[in-house]
Chain A
């Protein structure tokens, strides 16, 4: 690196136009608040476990009532040392007490498998890629079909950062007035072979169904064509909600949904796989966007 190089780069930076579009600060605050609450839930859980670890021997050994009253709070409460979580939410709606560890914003996203209803209404980019297989219908969301599909896109390969003639990407979307709108740009499995896979999972976080109940929803891909993909919870297996071997040639695309178990952490603790074949949990293979 020479001073000449430094100078040239400084000129390029100086001449580069700054972005002129608007910032969606409200969305950042909404997402940031959610992240903050998740962290607080984690802290509260850790404090609860730590308190239980300290107190359990006292209880087992016939410890005093005082120890239990002060250190092992009843379910739904926490130690006073949980800083922000112990404050009164009436003074600051972003602060949470143990009674309000769930999203209090009143704008909880209501989700299908992939698409979520947000304040701005219909979401999604018009799919400009060429759909290369069939569309797997995952049901309807907000009255429109939600589908899983693969599209061939031209342009840059964002994995390598290099221009590429085309990349085939598994995506999810909705069909509005006959127009396919992409809501999630997901996997480019061929390019990722050897790095990820053979199971690719997306989603599985806690969301709210249209009927107001907590649920999880996710979709994925498994290398090869399989007639069965199972979801296993606590040793009990069942078929996933839907699958297809014609969405993404050479792979089995599937989706799944179900009620949320409040004992789960950030993501549904479910193992997805092929009987006798590869399997994975969202914690190992999944990504939350």
Chain B
């Protein structure tokens, strides 16, 4: 099998980035009028739309928890989002797993005790994917939750890092992801530096993990700055509207 050169002799990656360079992130909040909060996030060519409905009355009475809100994450991948068209059923194990990861990374951050007996729905729609779907989804969900005004202790920022040939690289794209690289996704609370999610599914030498963790942590901080700027701009815009 012919392998793709992932790293040029000069140390540049397939898309011309340096190893510790993120792709361009564009984010917008309040994109949907129907939802209580929404966000659209582009991470390079990965495009994700997030909508938050709630806190609202829990749909099933059996699910109600009397002293806090439950978080529900639904995940939808557009069939045309990948290179190969593949229909993923609603009960696809992989999707359910991802949804559960996202749910669990937000549970400690959202102050659920403020909304007893209710439910917060986070709906995610992946429109186009080019690597790093989980990180993009988590970042988009954070933005949508903030836009919905759900109380949270901190942002949740996620970033991936992987070992591309001989170098630790950040924010892998689809080509790098799919050619046998080991990849770590971590979600971090930038203020405290705590990690709410760390996930790796391939082989990696223990000595190399440290480097990846630091790199992904740096990435999370950078992503936080980008997201925070969007949120602040939006808040200023709203404040100005209120003042008039």
Q: Do A and B come from one complex?
A: no
B interface list, Cβ under 8 A from A: none
